[in-house]
Copies of this chain bind each other. A is one copy, B any other.
Amino acid sequence: MTVELICVGTELLLGNIVNTNAAYLAEKCAGLGLACYFQTVVGDNRERLSMVLRTALERSDVIILSGGLGPTEDDLTKEVAAEVCGRQLVMHNQSKKAIKKYFEQRGIRPTDNNWKQAMLPEGCIVLENHNGTAPGVVMELENAKVVLLPGPPNELCPMFEESVMPYLAGLTAHVICSQTVKICGVGESKAETVVKDLIDAQTNPTIATYAKTGEVHIRVTADAADRKEAMKLIKPVVKELKNRFGNDIYSTEEDTTLEKAVIDLLRANDLTVTCAESCTGGLLSARLINVPGASDTYKSGVITYSNKAKRRFLGVKKSTLQKHGAVSEQTAEEMAKGAAFLLKADVAVAVTGLAGPDGGTEEKPVGLVYIACSVKGKITVKKYQFSGSRSKVRDSAVSAALTLMRSCILEYFSKVTFGKKD
C-alpha cells in the first residue's frame, strides 16, 4: 500500500518553518510498512492544491494532507479536498459541541468563523482533536483514502497516533514492527561494513543504517501477521547485531538517547558526575541535564574557558599550560583530575579543544579536541580530530565525550568484555 503526503501552508513555501510534519508522518508511515514515494508542499491556493491532490489520487492509495484546517478564509484544505472527492460539507454537530466546549474551558468567546471548522465532508470518519479545534477527517473513496490533519504539530502528532495509526494498521492484514539498535563510537562506513552481508541478504526483517552525530542507528523492521510474529523475526537479527557490535551498542530502546544511557549507567553504579568544559562551553553539561532526573548524579560543573580559570578552578599547573598549551593531553588530564577532586565527583570528564573558526595552527589545527575522563581516579585521555563549523566541532566533541564516559565507566566496572576490536 502506498501513501503520499501533501503539506499545505504558505509558511512552508516561504521557508519560514521547517517541515517537521513531513518527517514525522513519513517516519510513522514507514513504520507501518506503507511505501511513500512522494511528498509535496503547496500553498493555501484552491487551484494548485486541487491539482496536487488530483495527481496524488492517480498514483497513491492513501493521501495524507496536513494544514489548512484553521478557521480563517485562507484555510481551504477541507473545502478543496471535499470538492475533489465529490463530497458536500455539512455541519457536524458533535464537532460543533466540542469546539464550543474547547472555548468555554478557556473562557474565550468563539467567533462566527470558528463554526466553519465543524463543517465536515458528508459520510466522512471524524477524528477528534484533543489539542485544538479542528477535527481531522478520513474520506474513504473507491480507490483511495484521503486523510486531513491539522497543521500544528502538537495537534497533528497526537491525532495521528490516537486515530490514524490504528486506522491505517486496520487496512492491512499484517503489522510492521521495528527495533533500533543504537551504536556509539563507530563510524558509519565502519558500521556498514560490519553489517554489509546482513543488508545484502535482507528480506524480512529489513536492516537499514542511519548516521547521527557520533552515532549510528541500525533499524530492524519486520512485516508479519501480528506483533508477536514480527518480534520473533526481529529478535535473532538484533542478537546477531549485539554479537557483532558488542558493547558499542548503548541501547535498543526507542526513547533512550546516548546521554540518557550515560545517566542510567551512572545511576546504576551509584556514581556522581561532573564536567569541566572549555571549547564545548557548557554543551556537554546541558545535554546530560536535559535528561529528566539527571540531578541524582549531576550536582555541579564548571566552564573554564580561559587558562586562568583552568588554573583557578581545576588546579591545572601553569607549567603544563606553558609547556603543552591549553589544548593538550596533559591539560585535559589535569582538568579531569582537578574536577574530580575539587567538584567532588566519582566521574569527571574534561573537554579542551579548538572549535575554530580561527586559532588553528599546523601543529594544532581547528577541530583538534582532547577529552579526559576520570572514573574514581582512573584516567583515560583521548585525542580527536573533528571537522566542520565551530558548532559542528562542538557537537561532535560532546558526543565523543559521552561515548568516552560510557566506555570508561563500563571498563572500570568490567561489567562486560569490551566490544569487538578490529
Contact = CB atoms under 8 A, between A and B. Distances in A.
A213 interface: no
Nearest to A274: B303
Contact of A309 (B283, B299, B388): B299
Copies of this chain assembled into the complex: 2
Grouping DSSP codes into helix (H, G, I), strand (E, B) and loop, the A interface class, with mixed when no group exceeds half, is: mixed
Given A282-B285, A294-B305, 15 more contacts: A12-B23, A14-B26, A15-B24, A19-B23, A281-B285, A281-B290, A286-B286, A289-B303, A299-B305, A299-B306, A299-B309, A300-B305, A300-B312, A300-B313, A302-B303
A394 interface: yes
Interface string A1-44: 00000000001111111111011111111100000111111110
Contacts of A331: none
5 contacts: A282-B286, A283-B286, A286-B286, A300-B309, A300-B312
Nearest to A106: B387
A341 B269 CA distance: 36
Residue of A18, A55, A281 ringed by the most chain B CB atoms within 10 A: A281
A291 B356 CA distance: 10
Residue of A11, A14, A55 ringed by the most chain B CB atoms within 10 A: A14
8 nearest A-B pairs in the assembled complex, by CB-CB distance: A282-B282, A281-B289, A15-B27, A15-B26, A282-B285, A300-B309, A39-B41, A282-B286
A30 B45 contact: no
A389 interface: yes
Interface in A275-323: 275, 277, 279-286, 288-290, 292-295, 298-306, 308-309, 312-313
Interface size class of A (residues with CB under 8 A): 35 or more
A390 interface: yes
A302 B302 contact: yes
A286 B280 contact: yes
Nearest to A30: B14
A358 interface: yes
A26 B12 contact: yes
A48 interface: yes
B20 A18 contact: yes
Nearest to A289: B281
Contacts of A294: 281, 305
A163 interface: no
A210 interface: yes
A130 B390 CA distance: 18
A150 to B, nearest CB: 15
A52 interface: yes
